[in-house]
Amino acid sequence: MPALLIAISVGLVERRDSWATAALAVVLMVSVVSTVKTRIDPRYARADYRGAVEYVRDVAESDDRVIVSSRFTIGAVRYYFGSERAIEKLEFRPIRTPETAEDAFDSLVGDDLAPAPRTWLIMSRQWEEDPSSYLRDRLDRSEKVVLAHSLPGVDVYRIADSSLARRPM
């Protein structure tokens, strides 16, 4: 996008008429508004995957599961974890119905899962993967799930087995 804006700006400057000046002002305004939104508005902030991984690394046990909610997230999370931990993807994506959210919830919290002290869910890109917040609402209603840490663009949930539900950190 910046290269396109530069090309448009150069073309408009070369024209040197009032329409070109007005068009250049509009292009610059759009650029400034976009930049300000990405720096100030949390909805448009870059997801802090590094911070999420640092948090999970600090509090998770070596046998805890780590799951990411978005296929776009797994690369960044794997990068920051390095090879020290296996990262899983949430199987049910995108979440467009309450039924899909329930299936995704069961895949995280279900009784038939292999025992692990805790599962950590790194959620991001909600507008794309869970636009109606069905899964997030389901997680918030569960006694086994706690929003453990929130960062720009990323939430980290702690999901405990039934013997560890709501265990303080």
97 lies in the same domain as 121: yes
CA distances from 147 to 33, 35, 127, 140 (A): 32, 29, 18, 8
Q: Are both 53 and 111 inside the same structural domain? A: yes
pTM of the shown model? 0.71
Whether residue 169 is contained in a domain is answered as no
Residue in 144, 98, 96, 97 with CA at minimum distance from that of residue 121: 144
Q: Could you give the 3-state DSSP secondary structure of residue 147?
A: strand
Q: What share of the chain is helix, strand, coil (3-state, %, to 5)?
A: 50, 15, 35
Q: What is the pLDDT of residue 1?
A: 58
What 3-state class would DSSP assign to 89?
strand
Span 119-142, mean pLDDT? 86
Residues 6 and 75 in one domain: no
154 found inside a domain:
yes
Q: Does residue 78 sit within a domain?
A: yes
How large is the average pLDDT for residues 19-27?
78
Task: Using a pLDDT cut of 90, give the percent of the chain over it.
Answer: 17
Please give the tally of structural domains in the chain.
2
The pLDDT of residue 24:
76
Quick check: 166 pLDDT over 50? no
Is 156 among the domain residues? Answer: yes
Backbone angles phi, psi at 12, to 5 degrees: -70, -35
Do both 92 and 121 map to the same domain? yes
Looking at the structure, tell me whether residues 79 and 134 fall in a common domain.
yes
Domain extent, residue 76, equals 49-164
Do residues 126 and 149 share a domain? yes
Residues 61-100: tens digit of each pLDDT: 888 889 998 878 888 999 998 877 888 888 777 888 898 8
Residues 94, 148, single domain; the answer is: yes
Q: What share of the chain in percent tops pLDDT 70? A: 83
Same-domain pairing of 100 and 152: yes
The answer to whether position 87 is within a domain reads yes
Q: What are the residues whose beta carbons fall under 8 Å from the beta carbon of 72, sequence distance 6 or more?
A: 124, 125, 128
Greater confidence (31 vs 16) lies with 31
Query: Which of the four pLDDT bands, split at 50, 70 and 90, describes residue 149?
Result: very high
**Same domain (yes/no): 55, 31:** no
